Amino acid sequence: MRFLQKQYNKKWMLPLLTFVVGCLILTAFIHHSYDTNRKQVRMITELNASTYAERLRDDMNRGVAIADALKAIIISGNGTIDNFEKVSENLMSDFVQSIQIAPDGVVTEIYPAEGNEAGKIDLLHDEKRGEICRYGRDNNCVTMQGPFDLKQGGRGIVVRYPVYLEAADGNPVFWGFTIVIIRVPEIFEESVQALTDFGYDYCLTKTVSPLSEERERLSFSKEDLTNPVTYTFEFGGCTFNLAVTPKDGWKQGWKILPNLVLGFFIVLFLTGLVAGILVIEFHREALKKIAITDPLTGLLNRDGFDEQIKSAIQDTPDAHCVGIQTDIDDFKFINDMYGHEAGDTALRILAQSMRNAFEKDAILCRNGGDEFSAVLIGMTEAEAKEKIEKFTMQPRYITQNGEKRPFYISLGYAEYPKDCDDVSELIRCADMALYAVKLHGKHSCCAYEGNYKVQNRSQLGFALQDVSRNLPGAFLIYIADKTNDRILFANQELIEFAGCKDFDEFLAYTDQRFRNLIHPEEQDAVETSIWKQIDSEKSGNNDYVKFRFAKKDGTYRPVFDHGRIVKSRYYGNVFYVLIMDCALIDSYYDKM
């Protein structure tokens, strides 16, 4: 029996022990929560004290700004001010008692004049004001003095702003003071009311002047504050102190005994609830990230790209930005030659190089395939040019069978708002610039030009170099404009026939105009003949036109021109032209 009794008592000891341990843990928790609550309330109070002190500083700046504006008018008038009353009337505010000017330290003008006649005194030699005024003059600094009782009722602070003009020898010469008398606490009314509404008692004091340690109250909601938080700031040479305490005291918001047991269970429940919500949110964010991320490169996909651009533009609607469109040159060749794994490696390498080059200031995206986009927020084309060129030309390699194989990229870029009215058009403009790079031979970068039309590019256009390289003759494309033709493309045979090394040299030589390939004496006649044939033929073909072809070395070769006018989706009407050397044709027929 005694054994069973002992066992029974032991079972009762376990719940008792659990209760005691639980009480100890609960006590420690309550004590910690109580102490944390006090620290948190004080920390929040400190933050609010600093925030509202800055608001009070801003309030004071409104008064200083009036004196500063008056100073600027005097300087611009080289020491004179026309219609002082009208100017002052425009500068007046509900917290301003009066506005004054004091040439050579003597107050000569006061607005409003009525009731302020006694204020016209010699400040520099006045018993109460002279020392502080001389201090402001000698140190060229704004000074404040007060608070003091106003004759019109209430209290005020005077702000004196020294004015210096430039003498003939270039040295500054003291002109006098611009003065504003500010009513207190009216100037602080909104800020201190907000502080009170937020649940705080306060007391704002300042030193009487920069030359005195004596302090006076400017505004307060309670005279004696218990263990207040104090924020100190300097303004106008004076030291301001803002003391703040919660109205409910430092035990604000803490209830122990009434809800001890209930609070324990509520805390457990809320902790579990918050934990559950956080877990759900974590999974939601993870799923969202997966939905807007390209799985191969880790960059944004197009949906995520569009979403981030929209968000960035909403935050900074007037910001300049540069759109970039790039792809890997001959990417299909890499896949066909080295396999799709090598192609995927090239894509990842390009994505990482984009992160390295643009990580701090770019939104990066893989559109699909080997096409990538980026937008540099807050940058102009000129600012981004060097970075883009360096990124385009940096070496990139994939490793195949132990050997490094280089691969290259082409890139086009455009600027908003210079090149388009809407950010949504930016990547299309960059795409057109990329198209131009492809036409010029790839592995380069190019800025968008305003004469491009922003449309979806033709994928066949990227094969133009390959096709034209094998055409049996000299080939040329230029804009069909009677008054301002412009060359868009020439194949290698025509470039060499003109005596140029490459397309860029050819464009420089011709100034991008077809008429500059015609002998100067024949230019007008040839163009008139071509357009006469075009206008008379519905098909858009013109007959063979013979003219002397102007080469870069200054010689001329007779040629036949045969062209067709077509509608281009990018450039409007363009001529596709074959140029044939007359000498070669004559030699062929002579043999026959």
> Which of the listed residues 268, 291, 314 is the one where a domain comes to its end?
291
> Which of the listed residues 457, 482, 500 is the one where a domain comes to its end?
457
Domain assignment of residue 25, yes or no = no
Percentages (nearest 5) of helix, strand, coil residues in the chain: 45, 25, 30
Domain assignment of residue 30, yes or no = no
357 and 415 both lie in a single domain:
yes
Domain assignment of residue 266, yes or no = yes
Q: Quick one: pLDDT at residue 111?
A: 92
pTM above 0.85, yes or no: no
Q: At what angle do helices 2-76 and 260-291 cross, to 10 degrees?
A: 60
62 and 155 both lie in a single domain:
yes
Q: Using alpha carbons, list the distances in angstroms from residue 556 to 300, 449, 559.
A: 56, 33, 9
As a three-state string, the secondary structure of 417-436 is CCCCCCHHHHHHHHHHHHHH
420 and 355 both lie in a single domain:
yes
Q: Which residue in the block uniquely carries the two structure tokens 């937020």?
A: 198
Q: Quick one: pLDDT at residue 178?
A: 94
How many CA atoms are closer than 13 Å to the CA of 562, on its beta-carbon side? 9
The count of domains in the chain is 4
87 and 227 both lie in a single domain:
yes
100 and 161 both lie in a single domain:
yes
CATH number at residue 573: 3.30.450.20
Domain assignment of residue 173, yes or no = yes
Q: Which residue in the block uniquely carries the two structure tokens 């795409």?
A: 431
Burial class, 553, CB count within 10 angstroms (exposed 0-12 / middle 13-18 / buried 19+):
exposed
Domain assignment of residue 5, yes or no = no
CA dihedral over 71, 77, 80, 81, signed as positive or negative: negative
442 and 534 both lie in a single domain:
no
367 and 445 both lie in a single domain:
yes
Q: What angle do CA 382, 462, 395 make, to 5 degrees?
A: 55
Residue ranges in the chain modelled with pLDDT below 50: 1-9, 12, 14-16, 259, 270, 453-463, 569-570
How large is the C-alpha radius of gyration of the chain? 41
187 and 332 both lie in a single domain:
no
Whole-angstrom distance, CA of residue 119 vs CA of residue 131: 17
CATH number at residue 413: 3.30.70.270
Domain assignment of residue 3, yes or no = no
Nearest to 423 by CA among 376, 383, 359: 376
CA dihedral of 302, 305, 309, 315, whole degrees rounded to 10: 140
Contacts of 412 (CB under 8 A, 6+ apart): 324, 325, 326, 430, 431, 432, 433, 434, 435, 436, 437, 445, 446, 447, 448
> Which of the listed residues 457, 477, 509 is the one where a domain comes to its end?
457
CATH number at residue 57: 3.30.450.350
Whole-angstrom distance, CA of residue 189 vs CA of residue 211: 27
**Domain of 209?**
53-246
For every residue of 461-524, DSSP letters joined together read: GGGHHHHHHT-SSEEEEEE--SS--EEEEE-HHHHHHTT-SSHHHHHHHHTT-GGGGB-TTTHH
Domain assignment of residue 37, yes or no = no
Given the DSSP bridges, would you call strands 109-111 and 96-103 parallel, antiparallel or unpaired? antiparallel
Q: Quick one: pLDDT at residue 457?
A: 47
Given the DSSP bridges, would you call strands 403-406 and 409-416 parallel, antiparallel or unpaired? unpaired
Give all strands of the β-sheet with 172-184 in edge-to-edge order.
109-111, 96-103, 172-184, 155-166, 143-149
Nearest to 517 by CA among 539, 495, 491, 501: 495
Q: Quick one: pLDDT at residue 26?
A: 67
Domain assignment of residue 2, yes or no = no
Q: Quick one: pLDDT at residue 459?
A: 41
Whole-angstrom distance, CA of residue 210 vs CA of residue 311: 48
287 and 310 both lie in a single domain:
no
Q: Using alpha carbons, list the distances in angstroms from residue 191 to 45, 60, 201.
A: 15, 11, 13
Decide: 501 and 490 in contact? Cβ < 8 Å.
no
User: Which tokens sit at 243?
Assistant: 């003391």
306 and 260 both lie in a single domain:
no
Q: Quick one: pLDDT at residue 326?
A: 94
227 and 201 both lie in a single domain:
yes
User: Which tokens sit at 252?
Assistant: 């604000």
Q: What angle do CA 540, 544, 549 make, to 5 degrees?
A: 115
Q: Quick one: pLDDT at residue 325?
A: 94
Specify the amino acid at residue 195: L
229 and 266 both lie in a single domain:
no
Query: Strand (E) positions, 138-171?
Result: 143-149, 155-166
How many CA atoms are closer than 13 Å to the CA of 167, on its beta-carbon side? 6
